[in-house]
């Protein structure tokens, strides 16, 4: 596994922040937007230039989104012990996900889309596909390559797609994950929808004011159980489901049909009953709509929901990166036998009354669910289990 | 893999209603723009807010989605590029002032699949593949896996991309369009760089039922490489794996008139059986990332009608009764796919 987020630049740093309940949300240092000092962000604390030097990625046209993906990818490959031969083998798939791609370069894109003079070096780097295509070319990955965009659930679906490719024999192993960087585009989009909080976000709190945008990336290496003899195994992916809420382009239905069906479907794939889930890494963005609907959907499915928390108050909402980042957090919980507290929470939402985990605690976890819900009604849930 | 039942297409040609692929429209300048129908099935209030990609995607889908699929799987490289840049321009021109969110919400790449889901109250699987020139191919592989997991299900599968003023400008600056004026098949005779811009949407209702099917998707393979020898070797393998030596096969070439990529198409033509008929299609579709969706629609239509209008032929041929069509496409010389469609 490899990860970079506002909560830390690698796996160990992320776990440390989670254990200490440390938030990576602050005013932005590197981001250029007029909101940089007005709103808090979950910014990765390395400049784009530093990332380029550190990763030896000086090719023209490489964007911050691709650099964050590359950073997480390299850590994942190193951590997994995949050999170069395995990485380059035609049965290794690379499935990524992102929602802004190179659009983090808002001003360059404005120029290239509107002007008739010479294009910038980023002319081929604006689309979502550019991020994973850069990794495919850089590492000569010959297996199936794909990029998924289902808004905020994108990388949960990348994990699911990679797992299914292995299941169906289209790949022997799959490197799966996702990434997004902070962009004027998404900041202004979410701001226009009036769902950005001017304070650090407070998922599931009665007085929540909206979400904080974040950035980051995460990759995981998946292999079939029978091929893991000499591998270090963190956990098993046992359940997954993608369902659509089919209610509104940018908000969830009151009953939370999409979230409910995604969680229920994942239990069916895992073939376990709802009482077997020990912990949920909730989508919990901190918006009025999401947290209430997600709570209701959890109550609808579990009656008495298991322990849960949202890590968005640690990282901000990393959009296309969120599903993979939170998959890794779920796996860290199982692997280390611990649950991480939700920070900034004080009062439960009155009509649902659910309280997220507030203290770090050691406990044995067998099954952890990770939720990711996005615009366009795109809801996905994953279940990770103890290996 | 699976069967195509209902098919639908909005393209620069007459492919939606009163289909005619014999008498073709030539590009206006270096663009082949879609011939949009009147969208009777999209409520006017919603239609007005839709950008072109969403409009043609939803319009194409609604024609066949009545059959209540169990999920929606779309391949698109850019989704609603026009809304995306409209919103971006507002950000710059109003210096990040208070903006209206409509363009932002419509601009997300998953808006086509989301709108189809919303308009048809479809709560099933909903996924958007955006891997540029292989977005639609991945959507097909996704549907193939879904139908192996749920053998009695039906899925809506589609590919869509638009030419907006903006992505046209980006591609133009990138050197992807020809400077010469192109009419019909002279696209292939210029020996110059670039192609013509295209756009379109094609949708399919897919399931495992062979009864009354239009055609079958027999195999798909995708590659990321700049090596034409690797592509030729992979094609040899693909042909032997699918036992294509004896069949009456049409080789549908995605060549787009860009001299830089001709080496890939030539390498593939070297590999194939000399008895195969060779045809091309980008003079009627133009070039864009999910164009293989239209190539699949054309293949289904040609197999169903058993008619191949002459303008498609690369070399003279009188053969008409094809049992299989092998599509080879590449996008910008790096993303390649083989798609095999058979009559049954």
- A278 half-sphere exposure, CB direction, 13 A CA radius: 19
Task: Name residue A379's beta-bridge partners.
Answer: A243, A373
CB-based contact (8 Å) between A246 and chain B? yes
Taking the alpha carbons at both ends of chain A, their separation in whole angstroms is: 15
Judged by DSSP in three states, A243 sits in strand
Considering only CA atoms, give the Rg of chain B. Answer: 19
Last residue in a domain, options B168, B188, B207: B207
From B184, B207, B230, the end of a domain falls on: B207
Co-location of B51 and B141 in the same domain: yes
Residues B122-172 have pLDDT tens digits of 999 999 999 999 999 999 999 999 999 999 999 999 999 999 888 888 889
The rounded mean pLDDT for chain A is 95
Instruction: Tell whether B191 and B289 lie within a shared domain.
Output: no
B window 17-46, beta carbon within 8 A of A:
none
Question: Which tens digit of pLDDT belongs to each residue from B198-212?
Answer: 999 999 999 999 999
Q: Which of B79, B88, B142 sits opposite A161 (nearest CB)?
A: B142
Domain that holds residue B325: 215-342
Residue of B76, B94, B166, B173 to mutate, testing the A interface (most A Cβ within 10 Å of its Cβ): B173
pLDDT digits (tens, 9 = 90+) for B132-145: 999 999 999 999 99
Locate the chain A residue with the closest alpha carbon to B164: A113
Query: Which of B105, B241, B336 would you mutate first to test chain A, the one with the most A CBs within 10 A?
Result: B105
Distance CA A188, CA A182 (A): 11
Q: Are residues B140 and B273 in the same domain?
A: no
pLDDT level of residue B85 (50, 70, 90 thresholds): confident
Q: Is the pLDDT of residue B271 over 90?
A: yes
Residue A317 bears catalytic tag: yes
A365, A279 Cβ separation under 8 angstroms: yes
Q: Confidence band (pLDDT; 50, 70, 90) for A165?
A: very high
CA nearest to A252 within chain B: B118
Among the candidates B185, B207, B229, a domain finishes at B207
Contact B173, B190 (CB under 8 A): no
From A107's Cα to the closest Cα of chain B, the distance in A is: 8
Check whether residue B35 and residue B171 sit in a common domain. Answer: yes
- What's the structural domain count of chain A? 1
Do B181 and B101 lie in one domain? The reply is: yes
A180 forms beta bridges with: A216
pLDDT value for A132: 97
Contacts of B85 in chain A (CB under 8 A): 109, 113-114
**Residue A339 bridge partners (DSSP):** A361
Judged against a pLDDT cut of 80, whether residue A82 lies above it is answered with yes
Between chain A and chain B, how many beta carbons pairs sit less than 8 Å apart? Answer: 198
pLDDT band at A51 (very low <50, low <70, confident <90, very high): very high
Pair B196, B224 in one domain: no
Alpha-carbon distance of B189 to B167, in angstroms, equals: 26
Q: Which domain holds residue A111?
A: 2-385
Q: Which value does ipTM take for this structure?
A: 0.97
Structure tokens at B156: 């809506």
Q: Is A188 on the interface with B (CB under 8 A)?
A: yes
pLDDT value at position A54? Answer: 97
Active site residue A367: no
Residues B106 and B230 occupy one common structural domain: no
Q: Determine what percent of chain B is predicted with pLDDT higher than 70.
A: 100
Q: Any chain B CB within 8 A of the CB of A32?
A: no
If pLDDT is split at 50, 70 and 90, which confidence band does B80 have?
A: confident
Q: Which of A152, A201, A241, A379 is catalytic?
A: A152
Buried b / exposed e along B51-75 (16+ C-beta atoms within 10 A): bbbbbbbbbbbbbbbeeebbbbbbb
Asked if A130's CB is within 8 angstroms of B132's CB, the reply is yes
With beta carbons under 8 A apart, name residues in chain B contacting A107. 92
B194 shares its domain with B268? no
Quote the Cα angle for A261-B106-B115, to 5°: 40
Residue A26 is given by DSSP the state B
Instruction: Reply yes or no on whether the pLDDT at A264 is more than 80.
Output: yes
**Nearest CA distance, A367 vs chain B (angstrom):** 23
B95 and chain A in contact, CB less than 8 A: yes
Angle at A12 between CA A6 and CA A14, to 5 degrees: 25
> Which among A133, A153, A160, A154 is positioned nearest to A145, based on CA atoms?
A133
- Whether B170 and B125 map to the same domain: the answer is yes
Secondary structure element (H or E) that encloses residue B170, with its range: helix B165-173
A289 CB burial (10 A radius; 0-12, 13-18, 19+)? middle
The confidence score (pLDDT) of residue B159 equals 98
Overall number of domains in chain B: 2
Contact A148 B91 (CB under 8 A): no
Helix (H, G, I), strand (E, B) or coil at A228: coil
Give the distance from residue B298's alpha carbon to the nearest chain A alpha carbon, in angstroms: 25
Q: What distance in Å separates the CA atoms of residue A254 and residue B328, rounded to the nearest whole number?
A: 47
Q: What is the CATH number of the domain that holds B78?
A: 3.40.47.10
B85, B87, B224 ranked by CB distance to A136: nearest:
B224
Residues B77 and B183 in one domain: yes
A223-252 in b/e burial notation, b at 16+ Cβ within 10 A? beeeeeeeeeebbbbbbbbbbbbbbebbbb
Phi-psi region of A56 (alpha: psi -120 to 50; beta: other; left: phi over 0): left
Distance (Å) from the C-alpha of residue A194 to the closest C-alpha of chain B?
Answer: 9
User: Does one domain contain both B125 and B254?
Assistant: no
Question: Any chain B CB within 8 A of the CB of A65?
Answer: no
Hey, is the C-beta of B234 within 8 angstroms of any chain A C-beta?
no
When CB atoms are compared, the residue of B114, B145, B166 closest to A113 is B166
Which of B10, B64, B8 lies closest to B38, judged by CA?
B10
The pairing of beta strand B324-331 with beta strand B249-253? parallel
- Give residue for tokens 């029978």: A226
pLDDT > 90: percent of chain B: 75
A189–B134: do the CB atoms touch at under 8 Å? Answer: no
Residues of A in contact with B88 (CB under 8 A): 103, 106, 109-110, 113, 185
pLDDT at B246 over 80: no
Q: Which residues 157-176 of A are in CB contact (within 8 Å) with B?
A: 157, 161, 164-165, 167-168, 170
Residue pointed to by tokens 């963190």: A234
Q: What is the pLDDT of residues B275-330, one digit of tens each?
A: 899 999 999 999 999 999 999 999 999 999 999 999 999 998 888 789 999 999 99
Let me know whether B166 and B250 are in one domain: no
- Contact A258/B123, CB-based, under 8 Å? yes
Interface test with A, best of B109, B133, B136, B222 (most A CBs within 10 A): B109
* pLDDT tens, residue by residue, A14-45: 999 999 999 999 999 999 899 998 999 999 99
- Over the stretch A313-351, which tens digit does the pLDDT of each residue have? 999 999 999 999 999 999 999 999 999 999 999 999 999
Q: Of chain B residues 256-315, which have a CB less than 8 A from chain A?
A: none
CA-based nearest distance B131→chain A, Å: 5
Q: What is the CATH number of the domain that holds A60?
A: 3.40.47.10
Active site residue A71: no
Residue B143 phi, psi (nearest 5): -65, -40
């Amino acid at each position: 596994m490899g990860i970079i987020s506002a909560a830390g630049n690698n796996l160990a740093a992320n776990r440390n922040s989670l254990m200490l309940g440390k938030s990576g949300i602050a005013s932005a240092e590197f981001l250029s937007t007029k909101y940089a000092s007005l709103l808090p962000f979950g910014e990765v604390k390395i400049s784009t230039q530093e990332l380029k030097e550190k990763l030896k990625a000086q090719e023209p046209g490489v964007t911050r989104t691709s650099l964050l993906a590359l950073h997480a990818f390299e850590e994942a490959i190193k951590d997994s012990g995949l050999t170069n031969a395995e990485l380059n083998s035609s049965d290794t798939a690379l499935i990524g996900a992102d929602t802004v791609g190179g659009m983090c370069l808002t001003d360059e894109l404005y120029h290239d889309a509107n002007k008739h003079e010479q294009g910038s070096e980023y002319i081929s780097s604006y689309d979502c596909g550019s991020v994973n295509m850069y990794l495919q070319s850089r590492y000569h990955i010959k297996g199936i390559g794909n990029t998924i965009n289902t808004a905020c659930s994108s990388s949960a679906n990348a994990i699911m797609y990679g797992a299914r490719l292995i299941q169906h024999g289209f790949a022997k192993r799959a490197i799966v994950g996702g990434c997004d960087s902070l962009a004027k585009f998404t900041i202004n989009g979410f701001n226009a929808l009036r769902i950005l909080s001017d304070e650090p976000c407070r998922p599931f709190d009665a007085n929540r004011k909206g979400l904080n945008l974040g950035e980051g990336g995460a990759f995981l290496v998946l292999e079939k159980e029978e091929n893991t003899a000499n591998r270090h195994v963190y956990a098993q992916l046992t359940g997954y489901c993608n369902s659509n809420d089919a209610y509104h382009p940018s908000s969830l239905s009151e009953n939370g049909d999409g979230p409910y069906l995604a969680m229920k479907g994942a239990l069916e794939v895992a073939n376990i009953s709802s009482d077997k889930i020990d912990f949920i890494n909730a989508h919990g963005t901190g918006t009025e709509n999401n947290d209430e609907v997600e709570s209701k959907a959890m109550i609808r499915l579990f009656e008495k929901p298991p322990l849960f928390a949202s890590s968005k108050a640690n990282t901000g909402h990393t959009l296309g990166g969120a599903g993979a980042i939170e998959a890794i957090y779920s796996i860290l919980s199982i692997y280390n036998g611990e649950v991480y507290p939700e920070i900034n929470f004080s009062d439960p939402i009155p009509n649902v009354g659910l309280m997220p985990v507030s203290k770090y605690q050691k406990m044995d976890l067998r099954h952890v669910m990770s939720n990711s819900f996005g615009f366009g009604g795109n809801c996905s849930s994953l279940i990770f289990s103890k290996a | 893999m699976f069967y195509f039942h209902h098919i639908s297409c909005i393209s620069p040609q007459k492919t939606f209603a009163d289909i005619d692929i014999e008498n073709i429209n030539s590009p206006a300048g270096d663009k082949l723009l879609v011939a949009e129908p009147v969208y009777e099935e999209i409520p006017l209030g919603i239609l007005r807010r839709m950008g072109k990609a969403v409009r043609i995607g939803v319009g194409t889908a609604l024609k066949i989605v009545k059959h209540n699929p169990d999920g929606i799987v779309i391949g698109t490289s850019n989704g609603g590029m026009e809304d995306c840049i409209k919103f971006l321009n507002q950000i710059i021109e109003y210096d990040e002032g208070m903006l209206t969110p409509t363009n932002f919400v419509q601009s997300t790449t998953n808006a086509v699949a989301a709108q189809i889901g919303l308009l048809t109250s479809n709560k099933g699987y909903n996924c958007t593949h955006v891997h540029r020139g292989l977005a639609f191919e991945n959507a097909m592989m996704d549907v193939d896996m879904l139908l192996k997991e749920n053998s009695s299900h039906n899925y809506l599968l589609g590919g869509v991309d638009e030419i907006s003023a903006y992505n046209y400008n980006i591609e133009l600056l990138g050197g992807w369009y020809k400077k010469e004026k192109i009419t019909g098949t002279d696209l292939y005779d210029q020996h110059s760089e670039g192609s013509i811009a295209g756009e379109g949407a094609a949708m399919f209702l897919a399931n495992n039922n062979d009864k009354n099917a239009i055609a079958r998707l027999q195999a798909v393979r995708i590659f990321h490489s700049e090596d034409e020898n690797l592509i030729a070797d992979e094609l040899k393998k693909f042909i032997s794996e699918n036992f294509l030596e004896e069949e009456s096969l049409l080789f549908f070439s995605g060549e787009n008139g860009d001299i830089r990529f001709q080496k890939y198409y030539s390498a593939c033509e070297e590999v194939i059986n000399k008895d195969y008929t060779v045809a091309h299609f980008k003079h009627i579709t133009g070039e864009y990332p999910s164009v293989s969706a239209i190539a699949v629609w054309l293949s289904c239509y040609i197999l169903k009608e058993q008619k191949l209008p002459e303008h498609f032929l690369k070399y003279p041929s009188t053969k008409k009764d094809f049992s299989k069509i092998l599509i080879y496409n590449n996008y910008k010389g790096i993303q390649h796919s083989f798609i095999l469609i058979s009559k049954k």
